């Protein structure tokens, strides 16, 4: 089955946040990577498929500007409720990230994808995703991906995955990006 809003809305409606298989309360690993980016707190972030990630709260506390995307309105509603007043300062983008992003999405300094890209399994969708990365991330910007590796599980949340080697990710990003760090 292809990733779709009904599937994800059902998951976010029916499941406590901390019970989600991918729930991560400790954002230390992401913050360690961000510390390699000078002045990251003064950046505009794009988080595709943000789900209900508490990384949002950490970035807001640091003073960063945020653009949050998800195919699931249910997930974004959970975020709004949790964040409270600061939600008004966020640009909310409820759409399939394989489709072109609009002009409401400003140029982005840092794009962080944790377990989202790998749900796109059609080649056209994958190409659409990378077009968005290339059109929105500024020159000198950074992208951070956390996807299942080739020998990882072939499914997650009841959906098939397109798993990524570092070679495939690098190739799809193209020569305008330079690899800074990778690990499993
Ligand atoms: C495994 S969860 C990861 C959530 C979050 N990134 C985190 O680290 O907690 C995958 C997320 O991607 C979203 N998603 C799946 N397919 C999508 C698509 N085509 N466009 C935008 N979001 C999508 C889901 O709704 C869900 O929030």
Write out the chain's pLDDT in tens, 184 residues.
888 999 999 999 999 989 999 999 999 999 999 999 999 999 999 999 999 999 999 999 999 999 999 999 999 999 999 999 999 999 999 999 999 999 999 999 999 999 999 999 999 999 999 999 999 999 999 999 999 999 999 999 999 999 999 999 999 999 999 999 999 9
Q: What is the pTM of this model?
A: 0.98
The DSSP code sequence of 92-118 is: EEES-TTSPP-TTS--EEEEEEES-GG
- Please tell me if the CB atom of residue 97 comes closer than 6 angstroms to any atom of ligand 1: yes
> How many angstroms does the Cα of residue 122 sit away from the middle of ligand 1?
16
Q: Which atom of ligand 1 is nearest to the CA of 21?
A: 1
pLDDT of residue 67: 98
- Please tell me if the CB atom of residue 133 comes closer than 6 angstroms to any atom of ligand 1: no
User: Tokens in use for 144?
Assistant: 């951070």
How many other β-carbons are positioned within 10 Å of the β-carbon of residue 105? 18
What backbone torsions phi and psi does residue 89 show, to the nearest 5 degrees? -85, -5
Nearest protein Cα to ligand 1, atom 8: 114
pLDDT of residue 2: 86
Q: Could you tell me which CATH number the domain at 41-173 has?
A: 3.40.50.150
Cβ burial, residue 167 (10 Å; 0-12/13-18/19+)? exposed
User: Tokens in use for 169?
Assistant: 């990710």
């Amino acid at each position: 089955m292809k990733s779709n809003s009904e599937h994800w809305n059902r998951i976010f409606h029916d499941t406590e946040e901390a019970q989600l298989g991918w729930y991560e309360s400790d954002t230390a690993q992401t913050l360690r990577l961000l510390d390699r980016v000078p002045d990251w707190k003064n950046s505009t972030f794009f988080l595709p498929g943000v789900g209900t990630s508490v990384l949002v709260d950490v970035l807001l506390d640091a003073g960063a500007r945020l653009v949050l995307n998800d195919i699931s309105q249910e997930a974004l509603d959970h975020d709004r409720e949790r964040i409270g007043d600061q939600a008004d300062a966020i640009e909310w983008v409820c759409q399939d990230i394989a489709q072109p992003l609009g002009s409401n999405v400003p140029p982005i300094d840092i794009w962080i994808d944790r377990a989202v890209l790998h749900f796109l399994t059609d080649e056209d969708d994958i190409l659409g995703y990378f077009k968005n990365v290339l059109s929105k991330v500024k020159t000198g910007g950074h992208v951070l991906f956390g996807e299942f590796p080739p020998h990882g599980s072939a499914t997650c949340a009841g959906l098939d995955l397109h798993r990524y080697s570092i070679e495939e990710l690098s190739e799809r990003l193209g020569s305008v990006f330079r690899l800074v760090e990778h690990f499993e």
